[in-house]
A and B are shown apart, each in its own frame.
Chain A
Amino acid sequence: DTAVSQTPKYLVTQMGNDKSIKCEQNLGHDTMYWYKQDSKKFLKIMFSYNNKELIINETVPNRFSPKSPDKAHLNLHINSLELGDSAVYFCASSRPGVGGYTFGSGTRLTVV
């Protein structure tokens, strides 16, 4: 009964490949997010989706594209992977109000 689940947990791939990370939440939350955590542990918001509408899109390369087939899923697709994309990617969800975010366990992406 995992609240926010991400797959895969680890992903090793070569430069230039295209990959996807999947995220699902069973909390009934309205908003889902993707974060990137770099090697210095800094958390950077990439995207958020509210009721299938993109409401934040920070200065993220357009090689990254979020895809939300429904309110419970927000997948992250990455084209033409680069070495600098190596990081831990977190999915999270929230509902309006004070509850804070619930995070998935993260996906460690390594581009070689």
Chain B
Amino acid sequence: AQTVTQSQPEMSVQEAETVTLSCTYDTSESNYYLFWYKQPPSRQMILVIRQEAYKQQNATENRFSVNFQKAAKSFSLKISDSQLGDTAMYFCAFMDSNYQLIWGAGTKLIIKP
């Protein structure tokens, strides 16, 4: 069975620092997609970034970037110059060949002023 593991239940950093959230997954598939979603206190689920497994280049969206290591089945999210508005739950998700999302348990990120 495919699984997604987020080993950090909670993290906190000072504003403007860089923080990395870890995510590992297990699959026997070779073509798949990976996502990071953000859920702020407003509870809205917001897509942060996505990565296609066949692409070697790491995806980047402004201050958000990933470190995708396919062989290690690792998909970490780096947030640069963190802002107070980045405080949220962050979920890593794997999309299987049926386009179903398998979710990690989430990491609660707190940005301190």
Chain A interfacial positions (CB closer than 8 Å to B): 31, 40-43, 45, 48, 56, 88, 90, 92, 94, 96-98, 100-103, 105-106, 108
Contact = CB atoms under 8 A, between A and B. Distances in A.
B52 A105 contact: no
Interface in B91-107: 91, 95, 99-101, 103, 105-106
A94 B99 contact: yes
Given A98-B50, A98-B52, A100-B50, A43 B103 contact: yes
Contact of A105 (B43, B89, B100): B43
B39 interface: yes
Interface of B: 33, 35, 39, 42-47, 50, 52, 89, 91, 95, 99-101, 103, 105-106, 108
Contacts, number: 46
Nearest to A42: B105
Nearest to B50: A100
A103 B100 contact: no
A62 B103 CA distance: 24
A92 B99 CA distance: 13
Q: Is the interface of A mostly helix, strand, loop or mixed?
A: strand
Given A42-B106, A98-B52, 15 more contacts: A40-B105, A41-B39, A42-B105, A43-B103, A48-B100, A56-B100, A90-B45, A97-B99, A98-B95, A100-B33, A100-B35, A100-B95, A103-B46, A105-B42, A108-B43
28 contacts: A31-B99, A41-B106, A41-B108, A42-B103, A45-B101, A48-B100, A56-B100, A88-B43, A90-B45, A92-B45, A94-B99, A96-B99, A98-B33, A98-B50, A98-B52, A98-B95, A100-B33, A100-B35, A100-B47, A100-B50, A100-B101, A102-B47, A103-B44, A103-B45, A105-B43, A105-B44, A106-B44, A108-B43
